[in-house]
Structure 1
């Protein structure tokens, strides 16, 4: 594993135009992959880089609450799939008529199709009883672990690796299946692999489930009811 100096020979220099473009490309072209996985294995050096990227996420109080379960066991994955199927049946009951039929037509996991699964967990005891910065908001350990997930996802996109987050799972059953200690929470169950394509749009948008909200409708001023006071910023946001 290379150290930080290999990644950042001069931490004070600005990113080049090419580097900046690559960062924004990864952000805008990241997709939640479910249907496009290829069987090709992920090379160990690539997976190690992705895990290293996740491990370099920011965390409140530098608590680093994450652990990474690299799941290649078919029996474990089959057990997780069973949990998904049970929860997915319950979720379908939230919709009626055409919406129910549309929900049932969506592919919402690639647990067995992807060559490997990964569970990113949050150790809620890491750092001890008093973690700097966590006194008022105890959920900051969960928030920090989400940042590790995002780091992993963006790095994966840059490496041409698809990632799908399976959120339709009973967390208690998942924790039991993965034999997690009581204080460790299974925050993100991910399917990983090379893909046949990255879709131009998010799959739920492409299939008409939801569309991306306009950014201009979501940016506000100093308080909730205020508009932006900077016309140039508002104009740039509306252009985008």
Structure 2
């Protein structure tokens, strides 16, 4: 059955562009809890993301048990120490000052996994590119990220982890692919520039530099 989509006028498009510009990787949170109903509504919005073959290969794991959170924190500490040791001398001091996670503050924590062989979707679209299941999970994450930002809720991506340790701590199947671990809550502050740019780690380049023509 066909349907008529809403009309998105210039004002809406301006607000959408502002949402993109103000999306942040948040690492500093207030202790204010995210209401359960709000969290579940955000996850439902994430479920609207596109996926290869309509396979919906993402699995969000809400991590609430203190012991499991402690295991994730320990994995981060080990991984972060290894990453620090691997930094070039001119970058090590700056790396050590960066706040790369919000595990001690965020009221809500969740892991995102991708199923490598989901039964849903019947394999459509991934025979030659099986990694599209992980790409689809990232689309769900980005949808969640923007939806949360629109409600004043921040999200931070913790990628400095040991995937096997995370799977073990959360007791999920060993073939599930870890996409990332995320902290979610209300930001402790707002800034016009991302934290890594403010710290001098890197700066965003114009989109024209990322486009090739052939």
TM-score, normalised relative to structure 1: 0.84
Partner of 2:153: 161
Q: Distance in 2 between matches of 1:142 and 1:159?
A: 26
The structure with higher relative contact order (CA 8 Å, sep 6+) is 2
Contact map agreement 2:55 2:121 (CA 8 A) in 1:
no
Following superposition, which runs of at least 4 residues in structure 1 exceed 4 angstroms of deviation?
A: none
Partner of 2:126: 134
State the aligned residue count.
Answer: 212
Contact map agreement 2:60 2:110 (CA 8 A) in 1:
yes
SS at match of 1:192: strand
The answer as to 2:36 corresponding to 1:19 is no
Q: How does 1:41-52 map to 2 (within 5 A)?
A: 41-52=33-44
Offset at 1:32? 0.5
Q: Which has the larger radius of gyration?
A: 1
The answer as to 2:21 corresponding to 1:28 is yes
> What is the CA deviation profile of residues 33-73 of structure 1, one whole-angstrom value per residue up to 9, with x for unaligned ones?
11x20001101221122101111100010000011111122
Which one of 69, 89, 94 corresponds to residue 86 of structure 2?
A: 94
Q: Distance in 2 between matches of 1:129 and 1:191?
A: 30
> What is the CA deviation profile of residues 67-117 of structure 1, one whole-angstrom value per residue up to 9, with x for unaligned ones?
111112222111101000000010011223341111011110111210010
**144-153 vs 118-127, greater mean Cα deviation:** 118-127
Contact map agreement 1:31 1:162 (CA 8 A) in 2:
yes
The answer as to 2:63 corresponding to 1:71 is yes
Partner of 1:122: 114
Contact map agreement 1:68 1:120 (CA 8 A) in 2:
yes
Q: Which runs of 5+ in 1 are unaligned?
A: 1-9, 224-240
The answer as to 2:172 corresponding to 1:189 is no
Q: Distance in 1 between matches of 2:171 and 2:124?
A: 29
Q: Which runs of 5+ in 2 are unaligned?
A: none
Contact map agreement 2:54 2:120 (CA 8 A) in 1:
no
> What is the CA deviation profile of residues 21-41 of structure 1, one whole-angstrom value per residue up to 9, with x for unaligned ones?
23222211000011x200011
